[in-house]
Every structure is written in structure tokens, then in C-alpha cells.
Amino acid sequence: MTYSLTQLAPGAYDLLLNGEIIGSVVRSGSRQPYTWTAELLEDLPQSKRPAPFTTIEHNFSTLEELCTWLGDPQVKANRRESESL
């Protein structure tokens, strides 16, 4: 399975599996330590959840830890901040 993350805004990503949006990754908290959460959009039975999901939502201390858990997905940054107006 190939995961990827597409940044929507600082601290918010779409979670894609084989090019299809299946969930989100978000950063909680206004100050460190942050909590990063990977969450599926659908409440699928455990047997139908994509690996490594065992529950609908998993929490991590860092985005790097979350990415390692997902198998080091490609992360696409939001380019709007670098575009000139």
C-alpha cells in the first residue's frame, strides 16, 4: 500500500492511499508538544481498515513518527505560500 500526504494548510494534510483520499492528518494544540492524529474518513470494520490502522484514529508525538508508521509516505507541501500575488 502506498500512502501520500498532501498539505492543505500548516498542520493539516489529506491522507491518500493509492491516490484516493481516505483520511486526514492534523496537528492539535497551539503550542508544543503537539499531537499529530491520523484519522480515517470512514468507520470501517477492523478487518477492512487499511494497514497499519487498527482503530479509526491514531495519535503521535511528531509528524515524523506518524510518517514512519505509514511507511514513509510522499509528502506534498502547499505551494501557495511561495506564489507571488
Task: Quote the domain boundaries for residue 56.
Answer: 3-78
In a domain, 65, yes or no: yes
In a domain, 84, yes or no: no
Task: Give me the number of domains the chain comprises.
Answer: 1
- pLDDT of amino acid 19: 95
The model's confidence at residue 32, banded by pLDDT at 50, 70 and 90, is confident
In a domain, 50, yes or no: yes
In a domain, 9, yes or no: yes
In a domain, 85, yes or no: no
In a domain, 36, yes or no: yes
Q: What is the 3-state secondary structure (H, E, C) of the chain?
A: CCEEEEEEECCEEEEEECCEEEEEEEEECCCCCCEEEEEECCCCCHHHCCCCCCCCEEEECCHHHHHHHCCCCEEECCCHHHCCC
Q: What is the pTM of this model?
A: 0.87
